[in-house]
Structures are given as structure tokens and as C-alpha cells.
Amino acid sequence: MQISPSILSADFANLERELKAIANADWAHVDVMDNHFVPNLTLGLPVVEALLRVSPVPVDCHLMIDDPDRWAPGYAEAGARSVTFHVEAAADPVATARAIRSAGARAAFAVKPGTAFAPYEDLLPEVDMVLVMTVEPGFGGQSFMADQMAKVRQVREAVGRHGGEVWIQVDGGVSAATIEQCAEAGADVFVAGSAVYGQESAASAVDELRALAERHRHPA
């Protein structure tokens, strides 16, 4: 059970400090948005490169951008340990996943709440993780969409059929109140923004979320 705090909820003026505050996390989740694929603009490769120099934990880049086939491998080449692209935006998801892996990172694909997983099940051998969005991508602080747990279960069942070790990540509205149902459905990587950075102690919030997920772990 892995906790990946989202720096989208961190203090952008003090990102090195904010990263050090989550040194007990498994990942630092970095949302890259281009104001095209989603209606928001955050940061790009130059800022990610700076974060990579100071992050005490591996960086997990979630690319909410157009044309990830072109841009995603660069994040892996820069040193991100995990790079997620949206299947809705990828022209050739197989080639993109292989390019990310060839550059030394874990490859993952994401599906928005309205995107069915079944058409993309054949991609499982090409990736290391599937991200099921539990809010519409684009902004932090949205309400958790519990109806996406059916999709998490669907992905978990598909992973079981295909074999191999593919992680299932959930992102959006994950908190102490919602992480248990995510774990029970089969998720094992949890992105949490305000549920970590909105607390008095980010490190304590990470520990609490991990403990809750462990207690409700989906049977293998």
C-alpha cells in the first residue's frame, strides 16, 4: 500500500520544503497540466527537473496533456520514476508506454471517470500501473466519486487474469474518509492532496492513510 501525496495541494512557493515534509511517503505525485487536455495550467518539464533534484522520494508524474506520445518520454529521461499518460490523449499508447519504460521509468495509463476500462485491457502487459481517476482531472479539492470503485474492481480482476504485477492507483478526493473503500476495491497506490497537505502534519497524514489502506487491503 503506497501513498503518493499530490503537490498540487502544496505551497508552490516552497516546494522543496513541501517535498521534505513527505519524506515518509512512497512517491511525490506531480500533476502536469497544459490547459488543453484539461482546463488548468500547472507546471512542465523544467519545474519537474528542479523537483527531481530535491525530492527525497521518487517522483510520479501524471501527465494531463495533449500529445503525450511526444512529451511523456522526456519526463522519464529527466528522472521521473513513474510516468502516467491519459489513454484519451494518446495516439499510440503501446509505443508511448514502451518509450517510457525504455527511458527507465515505470509506465502507466490513466482513465477519466467517463472512460471505460475494457477497451484498454489489452494494454496491461505494456504498463506497470493503471490510474483510475476518482474525480474529473484538472483541479484539486474535488469530491470523491464513489461510483468509480466498480472500475477499480474491474481493473483488479483484469490484472488477476493477465498476471504480472500491475499496480492500481486512485487519484481524486482520496482521504481518511474514502481510502478504505479504495483499498477494498483493489487499489494499492493512493494519491492524496489536501488530505496530506491540508493537515497540521503532512508526515502524520501519510502514516494515517497508509495504515487505513493496509487494514482494508483487497485480498490478493
Question: What is the residue-wise DSSP string for 156-184?
Answer: HHHHHHH-S--EEEEESS-STTTHHHHHH
> Does an H or E element contain 27, and which?
none
127 in a structural domain: yes
Range of the domain at 127: 2-215
Residue 113 lies in a domain: yes
pLDDT score, position 142 = 77
Looking at 60, 128, 171, 188, which residue is catalytic?
171
DSSP letter for 39, please: S
What CATH number should be reported for the domain holding residue 48? 3.20.20.70
Q: Active-site residue among 31, 34, 128, 188?
A: 31
Q: What is the pLDDT of residue 220?
A: 63
Give me the number of domains the chain comprises. Answer: 1
Question: Residue 98: inside a domain, yes or no?
Answer: yes
Query: pLDDT band at residue 137, thresholds of 50, 70 and 90?
Result: confident
How many CB atoms are located within 10 Å of the residue 54 CB?
Answer: 11
d(CA 138, CA 207): 27
The answer to whether position 220 is within a domain reads: no
User: What would the pLDDT profile of 20-58 be if each residue is shown by its tens digit?
Assistant: 999 999 999 999 999 999 989 999 999 999 999 999 999
* Virtual torsion, Cα 152, 156, 158, 163, nearest 10 deg: 150
> Is 171 a known active-site residue?
yes
- Res. 88 pLDDT band, cuts 50 70 90: very high
In a domain, residue 148? The reply is yes
Is 34 part of the annotated catalytic residue set?
no
pLDDT tens digits, residue range 157-183? 999 999 889 999 999 999 999 999 999
Q: Is residue 47 part of a domain?
A: yes
